[in-house]
Structure 1
Amino acid sequence: MRAIYEGLGVSGDLTFLELNPDGLDHIVVGAERERFDIPKGREAFAERLAARFPGEREGARRYLDTVERIGRELGSLADVRTLGDAARLLRTAPTVTRWGLRSAGALIEAHARDPRLRAVLSGQAGDHGLPPSLCSAPVHAAVAAHYLDGGWYPRGGGGSIPRAFVRALKRAGGELLLNTMVDRILLGDGKAIGVRLADGTEIRSRYVISNADPEVTFGKLIGREHLSPRLRRKLDGVKYSGSCLSLFFAVDMDLRAAGLDSGNNWFYESADVDGIYRSGLTEAALTAPTMPGMFLTATTLKDPSKMHHGHHTCEAFVFVSYEAFQKWARERSGAHSADYGALKEDLAWRMFQTLEKRVPGISQHVVFWSLATPLTNEHYINATRGNLYGIEKSRKQVGPWAFPVQSEIEGLLMCGASTESHGVAGVTGSGLTAARTILQCRTSELLTQHGPELRIYPSEDITQWPAELRERIERGHGAVFD
C-alpha cells in the first residue's frame, strides 16, 4: 500500500499510525476472558502460538506457512476470469488452487485440534463477516496474511484516505460533485455513454466506472432489461455480505488504565467462533441479553491526536442480519417510528452491558453515543441490504465467481468490494485494475507521481511524533487535520 500511495501522489496528504506491534489484534475468548495477542511478524506470531499451545506447534506453523503462501499467490487471481485462467493457477498458485474451493473452517481444522487455538485462528473473521465454515479459505487467509507485517491506522480516521485522493484528483484537473445522486447509467447502442443525475443533468463520457455494488449498478442504474440472461441470473442469485450494529461513543475514562491499547479487540463468549458468526447472520442480536461476539476499538488510542480534553472515542460492532430491520426499511431516514427508536436504545444498552464484562465501569463514563443499524448503511452508502463487504465472500462468489472489473457492457467498469476483494487494499487494487483496463497499461505505469515517503508514527509512543503534534496532544487540544 505504501508504494501505491506514493506512486499515486497521495502520500503527502497521509500519515499512518502503527498499531501496537505486540498485539495488533486481541482475541478474547470465554467467560474467563482468556486473551491471545496477535503480534506483528510471522515468526513472532508462530512463537507465541507455540508458547500458548505447545502441543500444536507444528500445526500452527504449517497454518502460517499456508497463509503466507496464499497471500503471496493471490496476486495471480486478479486476471482469473475463465476456466482456462483457473487451470493455469495449478502452476502459478498451487496453494490457492488446493484451498480455493474449500472453506476457512476446513483450513483451520486441518492445522489445529485445540478448540481454543481454532478460536484464535478464527478470531479475525469479522474482517470478512462470515463464519469460517462458510468463508472461502483464500479470503480468510488473505486477511491473516495482510496483518502478518503489522496493522496501521490513518491519522485523522478513515476519512483521511478519501480526502487525500480528492486532493490528488483536483490537482490532476478532476471535478468532483458531492451530494449528487446518479439516477441512471446511460446506454447507447449497448454501450455505456455517461450518466444522468437526479436533477436531470446528463454527463457524457467514454467510460463509466461504478463503485456501487452490483444490485445498485446493474439492477437500479442500468436496469435488468438491458442485461444478458446470464448476468440477470447471477444478479438474482448473488448473496450479499452481512450487516451490523455500529455503536459510536465517547467516554471520560482512562481506557489505557482499563487495559485497552491501540490494538483491535475481538470479544467472543465461547470458543465456538463459527457459531457466533452464524448467529450474526440472523436476528439473534435483537433478543440476546448480551452479545455473543463484539469488536471494540478505541480510536483515540490508535490516534492520540484525536483526543480532546480527556475524552476517548470508541467504536463497537455486532453482526446482525438485514432482515432484523426490514420492517422499518420503507420509513424515511430521520423520521422512523417510535418503536425503531426504542429498539435502538435497547440494543445500545445491551451492547454497553456486553462491554461491561470486558471493560468494567465503561458504561458509567459514556458522555455520548449513537447507534447505526443496517438501515443506516443502506441509506448513507447505498449498500444493498446494508452490506458491509459487498457480495458475500463465500467459496463460489470470489475469484472467477466475483463480479469482473470489465462488465459485459462496453464502456462500463466496476470497482469496489464486489470485484477483486474488499477492504482498503482490495478496493484500491480494483481501482487500479479499472484504470489499467481503460488506459491499456501496466500498474507500474500508473504509479509514477513520486509522492513523498509516507509518514508513519507509532500509536503507542508519541515521543516519536513531531514536536508540534506532541505538544497539542499533551495540552489536550487534539490535532488539526489538514
Structure 2
Amino acid sequence: MNARTREHKRGAQDLDGRHFDAIVVGSGIGGLVGAGYLAADGRRVLVLEQHDVAGGNAHVFRRRRKYEFDVGTHYLGDCGEDGLLPAVLNGLGVRDRVSFRPMDNEGGFDRIITPTATVDVPAGWEAYRTRLKHALPAEADRIDRFIDLATAVAGASRAGLMGESMVELFRRSPGTMRWTRRTLGMALDHCELSPKGRTLLAAQAGNYGAMPDGIGFAEHVNIMDHYLRGAYYPEGGGQTLVAAFVEALESYGGELRTRSEVRRILIDDGRATGVELADGQQVFAPLVVSNADYRRTVLDLCGGEAAFPADLVARTRGATMRSAVVAVYVALDTELEGLPNANIWWHDSDDMEYAHASVQERYERDGVFDRVPQLAFSFASLKDSGSSAVCPPGHSNFQLMTGCPPGYEFWGVGAGPVDGEPYRRSPAYLARKREVTELILDAAEKVLGPIRDRITHVETATPLTNERYIRASGGTPYGMASWGSEGRRPDVRTDVEGLYVVGQNVRYGSGVGGVATGGMAVASQVLDRPLLAEVYAGTVLGDPSRLPERRADWDPLLVSRGRARHGAKGLARIG
C-alpha cells in the first residue's frame, strides 16, 4: 500500500484543492474553541491535527483496557454556574454535555506540603488568606499586603477580559495596573515575605512551569483566581471536554481531520492563503489560525523572515521556554486511603527557590541529577471516583509530575523527534528515563508510603514525549518564558494578514482557562464582537438542535478522531 493510498484510507485524500473560510492548525482547546465559534457563525472551518485524536494537552490515553490517563487536564477552575468554561461551552450550545465534579473546595483542593508546614488551599480569596496566616502567623501583615495586591490585580484582569479598556483601567487604578507588568518575585519582595512564605504562596508553580522571578505577577494571580473560584474535574476526564467542542464544530458545518499534519502555512504577498500538508496536498482559506507551537509557527510553518519582520523573527528565535516536565502515570491494585480530593504539591525544602536553583546548579556543574525537590500529585481516581474509564473498582490512578533540566543532552540524545531523532530506543535515553522514574517514585513514597509492590502499570512521559505528540518547543506544555523581554508574549493577531495564533504561548496564559480565553479572543477579533461578554450574558451561537444524540456507548475518544476517521482501526477501548 503506497502513501497516497494510506492517506485515502484515513480520510485526508479528498481535501486537496478545497477551499474553506478558515483553517485551524492543531486541535488543542484554544484551537477548538476558536474553530467552534467561527463554525457557529456560519463559517466553513477545517481543523487539521497531526495526532490520532484531537485535544492537544487535554487528550487522554488508555492502557491495558482498564486505565485511562489524562495528559494535561488535572483540574479546572471557575466551573460554577457563572464560570468561564461553562459560559464558553454554553455559547456553543454544549453546556449540558460536560459535567464538572467539584473537588474539596471547602477543605482544600490543593494541599501544599513542606518540611514544616501543610496548607490546604480552599476556594475563595478570604479563606485562602486565613489559611496562609494560620500557617505563617509571624507574617500575617505581609500576607495581607500580598493578598490585597493580588485581589486588586485579579479584579482588574477580570474587568479587562469582560471588555473594559486597558486605558480606562490604567486611568482609574494606575498603581494596581503597574503590577500587571511586574513579576511574582517582585511582588514577594515588595511584601517582604520570608523564603518559607514565598514557597507557600508560589507552591503551585507547576501550573505554569516557572519560579517567581520567571512568571508575571498578573499571570500567577489570574491562575490562582481561576482556581480560587472553585476547582473542578470534568466527569469522564478531559477528553469529554474536547469531544463537546468537536461535536459543536462538526454539527455547525466544520470538519476535524486527524492524522493530517501541516507542513507549511501558505502566505502570498503578506496574506495567509491556506496550508500545505505533509503529503503535499494544499488546502485554501483566507483565514488561518495556528494552534501549533508559536516558535514552530513563525520559524518553520511560515518560513521566518519570508513572512515576518526581522525583529520579530529574531525575538522568536531567541525565545526561552518554561520548565520541561516529566510525568509518571501510575496505576495501583489498591485504593489510596486517607487522601483528600485534592492535588498535592510536595516540596522537600521550605525554600523552594533555593532548592530549585541548587539542583539546577549541581547538574550544570557536575552533570549530576539525583534529587527531585518538588513533586505534584494528581489523583484521577479521587477526582472522578467511580468512573469505569479511570480504573477498575478498588484500584487507583494518579499522575506524578516534576521539572527537569532543559535540553536534549540531559536525555542522552542530540535532537528531538521533530528533527527525526529515533530517541525511544536509545540506550542513554532509556537509562536516564529509568533513573528519573525511580527518583520520582522515591519522592512519591515519602508522601504516600510504600506503593511499588502494588503497581499494576507505570509509564513515564518525558519532554521528548511531549514534543513528539504536540510539537512543543523544549518539550514544555507551558510555552515561552521570554519573548524579547521577561513575561512578554504575542497577541492572537499576527503581522501576517489573516493569520492568528492561539495556545499556551499567547498572552492569555497557560492552562485550559487561558487557552480557551485565547480561542475566544481570536473568534471575537474575526467576528468583530465581544464574545466573552456575550456568552457570559447568555448568548448562544449556532443551533444546538443540530447536535448529535449520544448513545449509551458514546466514546469521547472516538468522537475526538473526527467523523472522517470514526471507522479507522486502532482505537483503544476500556473493558
Is TM-score (shorter-chain normalized) higher than 0.5? yes
| Rounded Cα–Cα distance in structure 1 between residues aligned with 2:322 and 2:411 | 16
Establish whether residue 61 from structure 1 lines up as the match of residue 166 from structure 2: no
Deviations 1:323-356 (A, max 9, x none): 1236253564574212211221221111111111
Q: Offset of 1:287 from its aligned partner?
A: 3.5
Residues 110, 253 of structure 1: alpha-carbon distance in 2 compared, 3 angstrom cutoff: farther
Three-state SS of the structure 1 residue aligned to 2:340 is coil
Corresponding position of 1:297: 378
Establish whether residue 7 from structure 1 lines up as the match of residue 91 from structure 2: yes
Q: Offset of 1:263 from its aligned partner?
A: 0.7
| Rounded Cα–Cα distance in structure 1 between residues aligned with 2:543 and 2:274 | 32
Q: 1:309 aligns with which of 393, 401, 419?
A: 393
Task: Tell me if the contact between 2:315 and 2:484 (Cα under 8 Å) persists in the aligned partners.
Answer: no
Task: Tell me if the contact between 1:296 and 1:317 (Cα under 8 Å) persists in the aligned partners.
Answer: yes
Q: TM-score, length-normalised on structure 1?
A: 0.85
- Equivalences for residues 447-458 of structure 1 within 5 A: 447-449=539-541
| Rounded Cα–Cα distance in structure 2 between residues aligned with 1:248 and 1:436 | 38
| Rounded Cα–Cα distance in structure 2 between residues aligned with 1:221 and 1:394 | 18
Q: Offset of 1:77 from its aligned partner?
A: 5.7
Aligned residue identity for 1:368: H
Residues 423, 148 of structure 1: alpha-carbon distance in 2 compared, 3 angstrom cutoff: same
Q: 1:325 aligns with which of 388, 411, 420?
A: 411
Three-state SS of the structure 1 residue aligned to 2:481 is coil
Q: Offset of 1:397 from its aligned partner?
A: 4.6
Aligned residue identity for 1:5: L
Corresponding position of 1:468: none
Structure 1 vs Structure 2: percent identity of aligned residues?
A: 29
Q: Which moved more, 1:174-183 or 1:284-293?
A: 284-293
| Rounded Cα–Cα distance in structure 2 between residues aligned with 1:363 and 1:451 | 51
Task: Tell me if the contact between 2:293 and 2:472 (Cα under 8 Å) persists in the aligned partners.
Answer: yes
| Rounded Cα–Cα distance in structure 1 between residues aligned with 2:430 and 2:485 | 38
Q: Which moved more, 1:368-377 or 1:438-447?
A: 438-447
Corresponding position of 1:186: 266
Q: 1:49 aligns with which of 132, 135, 139?
A: 132
RMSD, aligned α-carbons: 2.7
Corresponding position of 2:321: 240
Q: Offset of 1:404 from its aligned partner?
A: 1.6
Aligned residue identity for 2:345: W
Task: Tell me if the contact between 1:24 and 1:263 (Cα under 8 Å) persists in the aligned partners.
Answer: yes
Task: Tell me if the contact between 1:280 and 1:318 (Cα under 8 Å) persists in the aligned partners.
Answer: no
Task: Tell me if the contact between 2:290 and 2:500 (Cα under 8 Å) persists in the aligned partners.
Answer: yes
Residues 393, 223 of structure 1: alpha-carbon distance in 2 compared, 3 angstrom cutoff: closer
Task: Tell me if the contact between 1:250 and 1:312 (Cα under 8 Å) persists in the aligned partners.
Answer: yes
Corresponding position of 2:516: 428
Establish whether residue 166 from structure 1 lines up as the match of residue 246 from structure 2: yes
Structure 2: 5+ residue runs without aligned partners? 1-83, 545-572
Task: Tell me if the contact between 2:359 and 2:369 (Cα under 8 Å) persists in the aligned partners.
Answer: no
Establish whether residue 273 from structure 1 lines up as the match of residue 360 from structure 2: no
Establish whether residue 365 from structure 1 lines up as the match of residue 454 from structure 2: yes
Q: Offset of 1:266 from its aligned partner?
A: 0.6
Residues 244, 188 of structure 1: alpha-carbon distance in 2 compared, 3 angstrom cutoff: same
Q: Offset of 1:430 from its aligned partner?
A: 0.8
Aligned residue identity for 2:141: E
Aligned residue identity for 2:157: L
Q: TM-score, length-normalised on structure 2?
A: 0.72
Q: How many residues align?
A: 444
Deviations 1:348-378 (A, max 9, x none): 1111111111111122221111111110111
Q: Offset of 1:54 from its aligned partner?
A: 2.5
- Equivalences for residues 62-461 of structure 1 within 5 A: 62-75=145-158, 89-111=169-191, 113-226=193-306, 227-255=308-336, 257=337, 259-278=338-357, 284=363, 287-304=368-385, 305=387, 306-323=390-407, 324-325=410-411, 327-330=413-416, 332-333=421-422, 335-392=424-481, 396-398=485-487, 401-419=488-506, 420-443=508-531, 444-445=533-534, 447-449=539-541
Structure 1: 5+ residue runs without aligned partners? 453-479
Task: Tell me if the contact between 1:67 and 1:144 (Cα under 8 Å) persists in the aligned partners.
Answer: no
Q: Offset of 1:415 from its aligned partner?
A: 1.0
Corresponding position of 2:13: none
| Rounded Cα–Cα distance in structure 2 between residues aligned with 1:131 and 1:244 | 14
Q: Offset of 1:95 from its aligned partner?
A: 4.9
Corresponding position of 1:20: 104
Q: Offset of 1:103 from its aligned partner?
A: 2.1
Residues 6, 241 of structure 1: alpha-carbon distance in 2 compared, 3 angstrom cutoff: same
Deviations 1:452-474 (A, max 9, x none): 9xxxxxxxxxxxxxxxxxxxxxx
Three-state SS of the structure 2 residue aligned to 1:100 is helix
Deviations 1:192-235 (A, max 9, x none): 01111111121111100001122111111110131211211221
| Rounded Cα–Cα distance in structure 2 between residues aligned with 1:308 and 1:61 | 45
Aligned residue identity for 1:412: L
Q: Which moved more, 1:427-436 or 1:233-242?
A: 233-242
Q: Offset of 1:395 from its aligned partner?
A: 10
Task: Tell me if the contact between 2:316 and 2:483 (Cα under 8 Å) persists in the aligned partners.
Answer: no
